[in-house]
Amino acid sequence: MKFYIASSFANKQLVRYMSQKLILKKHTQTYDWTKNQRAVTDVLLHSIGTLEKQAVADCDIFLLLLPAGKGSHTELGIALALGKKVHIYSPENIDPATASAFYYLEGVERFNGMIDDFIETIGLV
C-alpha cells in the first residue's frame, strides 16, 4: 500500500520512525519530506509544494501525526477532497475545542496513545 505521512518539522523523528516501520512491511512511501531542509525561498516552496501535493494524490492512505502545522492541514484537505483513507494520530486526546472540524468528518479515523499501537491499529503491519 502507498502511504503519505503529514506532520510538523517538530515531529520529523516520529515520522521517520513510522515510515521505517511501514517500509519494512513492504509499503511504499509516496514522498519523504523529512529529508528536506525548511524551505525559505519561493522556488523551494514551489518545488516542495508540488512534490507534496503529488504525493498526497498518489497515496492510498493519508496519515496525519499531530501536532501538525498549516502545510499538513492543507495536505489533509487535499486528501479529503480526493477521497483518501485518512488516519489521525495524537499522543494525547484530541481536544475538540482546539481541533479542526475536518478531524471529525465521516471516514476520518482518530487515534491517541502510543505510536506503535497506532501503527497496528491502521492495519499496515
Q: Where are the domains of the chain?
A: 2-121
pLDDT digits (tens, 9 = 90+) for 6-15: 999 999 999 9
In whole angstroms, give the CA distance from residue 19 to residue 84.
Answer: 18
0.85 exceeded by pTM:
yes
Instruction: Kindly report, residue by residue over 26-67, the tens digit of the pLDDT.
Output: 999 999 999 988 888 999 999 999 999 999 999 999 999 999
For residue range 57-109, what is the model confidence (pLDDT) as tens digits?
A: 999 999 999 999 999 999 999 999 999 999 999 999 999 999 999 999 998 99
| Cα separation, 42 vs 19, whole angstroms | 28
Q: Which CATH architecture has domain 2-121?
A: 3-Layer(aba) Sandwich (3.40)
